[in-house]
Structure 1
Amino acid sequence: MKTFFVRIFDFFNTIQSKIAFYPTLFAFSGFLFALLMMYLEQQGISRKVMDLLPQLMVEDGDTALTVLSACLGGLISLMVFSFSMVMLLLSQASSNYSPRLLPGLISDKRHQLILGVYLASILYIIFTLFSIEPSEKKYTLPGVSVLLGILFTITCLVAFIYFIHNISQSIQINNILDTIFSDSRKRLKHLIDSKKEVPLSFPDTENWHKYKVGHSGYIQNIAINNILDICEREHTKIYITIPKGLFALSNAVFLKSEKKLDKEVVEQVISNISFSKGELVEDNYILAFKQITEIAVKAMSPGINDPGTAINAIDYLTELFALRMLKGDQTIITQNNKILLRIATVRFNELTYNVMSSLRTYCKHDPIMVQKILWMLNYLRNQPAVEESYHASINEEIQTMINETRKSLECERDILAISKILKA
Structure 2
Amino acid sequence: MKSYLYKIFKSLENLESKIAFYPAIISLVGLLFAFFMIFLESIGISKYLIEHAPILVVNNTETARSLLTTFIAGLISIMVFSFSLVMILLNQASSNFSPRVLPGLISNRRHQIILGIYNATLLYCIFTLVSITPHGDKYQMPGFSVLLAIIFMTLSLGAFIYFIHSISQEIQVNTIMDKIFKKSKYRLEKLVEAEKYIDTEFEDSSNWKCITANTTGYMQDVNLRPLANLAQEHNLKIEIVPIKGAYILKGIAVIKYKGEANKGMDEDEDLESKLLDTIVFSNNELIEDNYVLAFKQITEIALKAMSPGINDPGTCINAIDYITELFALRMTKKDHSFYFNENDEAIIHINTVSFEELLYNVMAALRTYCRHDIIVVQKLFIMFQYLLQQNNVLNENYKETIIKEVVNLKKDALDTHNNERDIELINSYITKLENVNPSEYTFEV
Cα separation, 1, equivalents of 2:133 and 2:370: 70
Matches within 5 A, 1:174-213: 174-213=174-213
1:42 matches 2:42: yes
In structure 2, which of residues 405, 411, 415 is the aligned counterpart of residue 397 of structure 1? 405
Q: Is the Cα contact below 8 Å between 2:134 and 2:140 reproduced in 1?
A: no
1:295-339 deviations in Å (ceiling 9; x for gaps):
000111111100000000000000000000000001111112132
Equivalent position of 1:118 in the other structure: 118
1:36-74 deviations in Å (ceiling 9; x for gaps):
111111222112222233234222222211110110110
In structure 2, which of residues 414, 417, 420 is the aligned counterpart of residue 409 of structure 1? 417
- The aligned amino acid for 1:132 is I
Equivalent position of 2:383 in the other structure: 376
Q: Is the Cα contact below 8 Å between 2:320 and 2:380 reproduced in 1?
A: yes
1:249 is displaced (CA, Å) by 1.9
Q: Secondary structure at the match of 1:238?
A: strand
Q: Is the Cα contact below 8 Å between 2:15 and 2:21 reproduced in 1?
A: yes
- The aligned amino acid for 1:88 is I
- The aligned amino acid for 1:339 is A
Cα separation, 1, equivalents of 2:169 and 2:315: 16
- The aligned amino acid for 1:315 is D
Q: Secondary structure at the match of 1:375?
A: helix
Cα separation, 2, equivalents of 1:376 and 1:145: 61
1:84-114 deviations in Å (ceiling 9; x for gaps):
0000000000000100000000000011000
- The aligned amino acid for 1:364 is R
Cα separation, 1, equivalents of 2:384 and 2:303: 17
Distance of aligned partners of 1:138 and 1:308 in 2 relative to their CA distance in 1, 3 Å threshold:
farther
1:139 is displaced (CA, Å) by 9.2
Q: Is the Cα contact below 8 Å between 2:200 and 2:346 reproduced in 1?
A: no
Cα separation, 2, equivalents of 1:199 and 1:46: 74
Equivalent position of 2:346 in the other structure: 339
Q: Quick one: percent identity of the two aligned structures? A: 48
1:292 matches 2:305: no
- The aligned amino acid for 2:308 is P
Distance of aligned partners of 1:165 and 1:294 in 2 relative to their CA distance in 1, 3 Å threshold:
same
Cα separation, 2, equivalents of 1:313 and 1:250: 36
1:360 matches 2:367: yes
1:370 is displaced (CA, Å) by 0.6
Q: Figure out how many residues of one structure are paired with residues of the other and give that number.
A: 424
Equivalent position of 2:355 in the other structure: 348
Cα separation, 1, equivalents of 2:113 and 2:331: 38
Equivalent position of 1:311 in the other structure: 317
1:423 matches 2:431: yes
Equivalent position of 1:172 in the other structure: 172
Q: Secondary structure at the match of 2:133?
A: coil
1:207 is displaced (CA, Å) by 1.6
Q: Is the Cα contact below 8 Å between 1:90 and 1:105 reproduced in 2?
A: yes
Cα separation, 2, equivalents of 1:51 and 1:249: 71
1:199-256 deviations in Å (ceiling 9; x for gaps):
3311111221222112111112221010011111221101001121221222222111
Cα separation, 1, equivalents of 2:256 and 2:24: 42
Q: Is the Cα contact below 8 Å between 1:61 and 1:136 reproduced in 2?
A: no
Q: Is the Cα contact below 8 Å between 1:227 and 1:272 reproduced in 2?
A: yes
Q: Is the Cα contact below 8 Å between 1:47 and 1:139 reproduced in 2?
A: no
Cα separation, 2, equivalents of 1:164 and 1:137: 46
Q: Secondary structure at the match of 1:232?
A: helix
Distance of aligned partners of 1:155 and 1:387 in 2 relative to their CA distance in 1, 3 Å threshold:
same
Matches within 5 A, 1:101-180: 101-133=101-133, 140-180=140-180
Q: Is the Cα contact below 8 Å between 1:60 and 1:138 reproduced in 2?
A: no
Q: Is the Cα contact below 8 Å between 1:128 and 1:145 reproduced in 2?
A: yes
Moved more, 407-416 or 45-54: 45-54
Moved more, 226-235 or 43-52: 43-52
1:12 is displaced (CA, Å) by 1.0
Moved more, 260-269 or 99-108: 260-269
Cα separation, 2, equivalents of 1:72 and 1:379: 58
Q: Is the Cα contact below 8 Å between 2:22 and 2:112 reproduced in 1?
A: yes
Cα separation, 2, equivalents of 1:341 and 1:400: 36
TM-score of the two chains, using structure 2 as the length reference: 0.92
Cα separation, 2, equivalents of 1:8 and 1:213: 19
TM-score of the two chains, using structure 1 as the length reference: 0.97
1:279 matches 2:261: no
Q: Is the Cα contact below 8 Å between 2:4 and 2:277 reproduced in 1?
A: no
Matches within 5 A, 1:207-246: 207-246=207-246
Distance of aligned partners of 1:135 and 1:43 in 2 relative to their CA distance in 1, 3 Å threshold:
closer
- The aligned amino acid for 2:363 is M
1:387 is displaced (CA, Å) by 0.8
Q: Is the Cα contact below 8 Å between 2:222 and 2:278 reproduced in 1?
A: yes
Q: Secondary structure at the match of 1:94?
A: helix
1:81 matches 2:67: no
